Amino acid sequence: MIRSRITGIGFHVPPRVVTNHDLEQMMDTTDTWIVERTGIRERHFVEGDVGSSDLGIEAARKALADAGRTPADVDFVIFATTTADWMFPGNGVIVQEKLGLGTVGALDVRNACSGFLYSLSVADAFVRMGQYRCVLVIGAEVQSTGLDLRTEGRDMAVLFGDGAGAAVVEPSTDESGILSWSLHSEGQFARELWCEAPSSRVPGRVTQEMLDAGRQLPRMNGRQVFKNATTRFPEVIHEVLAKAGHTLDEVALVVPHQANQRIGDAVVQRLGVPPEKVFQNVQRYGNTTAASIPIALTEARDAGLVKKGDLVVLAAFGAGFAWAGTAMRW
Ligand code: UT7
The reported pLDDT for the residue numbered 9 is 98
Q: Is the pLDDT of residue 1 over 80?
A: no
Instruction: Please state the domain count of the chain.
Output: 2
Are residues 39 and 11 part of one domain?
A: yes
Task: Determine the atom of ligand 1 nearest the C-alpha atom of 317.
Answer: 1
Ligand 1 proximity of 318 Cβ (cutoff 6 Å): yes
Looking at residue 237, its pLDDT comes to: 98
Instruction: For residue 87, count CB atoms less than 10 angstroms from its CB and return exposed for 0-12, middle for 13-18, buried for 19 or more.
Output: exposed
Q: For residue range 143-172, list pLDDT tens digits in order.
A: 999 999 999 999 999 999 999 999 999 999
Residue 83, domain extent: 4-173
310 & 197 share domain: yes
For 118-148, the pLDDT digits (tens) are 999 999 999 999 999 999 999 999 999 999 9
Q: Among 125, 145, 173, give the residue marking a domain's end.
A: 173
Closest CA to ligand 1's atom 42: 29
* Predicted pLDDT at 301: 98
List Cβ neighbours of 95 (8 Å cut-off, separation of 6 or more): 53, 56, 57, 60, 77, 79, 101, 106, 136, 138
Q: At which of 109, 143, 173 does a domain end?
A: 173
**19 and 285 Cβ atoms separated by less than 8 Å:** no
Those residues whose C-beta lies under 8 Å from the C-beta of residue 158, and which sit 6 or more positions away, are 20, 23, 29, 34, 38, 40, 286
What is the CATH classification number for the domain harbouring 199? 3.40.47.10
Say if ligand 1 is within 6 A of residue 37 CB: yes
What is the mean predicted confidence (pLDDT) over 204-209?
A: 97
Which atom of ligand 1 is least distant from the CA of 289?
Answer: 1
Ligand 1 pocket, residue 287 CB under 6 Å? yes
Same domain for 192 and 107, yes or no, is no
Which pLDDT score is estimated for 305? Answer: 98
Mean pLDDT of the chain: 97
Amino acid at 151: T
Tell whether 146 and 198 lie within a shared domain: no
Atom of ligand 1 nearest to the CA of 257: 1
Tens of pLDDT, residues 239-284: 999 999 999 999 999 999 999 999 999 999 999 999 999 999 999 9
- Residue 291 confidence (pLDDT) above 90: yes
Share of the chain above pLDDT 90, in %: 99
End residue of a domain, out of 110, 140, 173: 173
Task: Say what percent of the chain tops pLDDT 70.
Answer: 100
219 lines ligand 1 (CB under 6 A): no
Query: Which of the listed residues 155, 159, 224, 262 should we mutate to test ligand 1's pocket, taking the one with most ligand atoms within 8 A of CB?
Result: 155
Shared domain for 226 and 250, answered yes or no, is yes
**Residue-level pLDDT at 166:** 98
Give the closest residue (by CA) to ligand 1 atom 41. 29
Q: State the pLDDT at residue 255.
A: 98
pLDDT tens-digit profile of 67-116? Answer: 999 999 999 999 999 999 999 999 999 999 999 999 999 999 999 999 99
- Report the pLDDT value the prediction gives residue 257, as an integer from 0 to 100: 98
β-pair type (105-109, 219-220): unpaired
> How much is the pLDDT for 254?
98
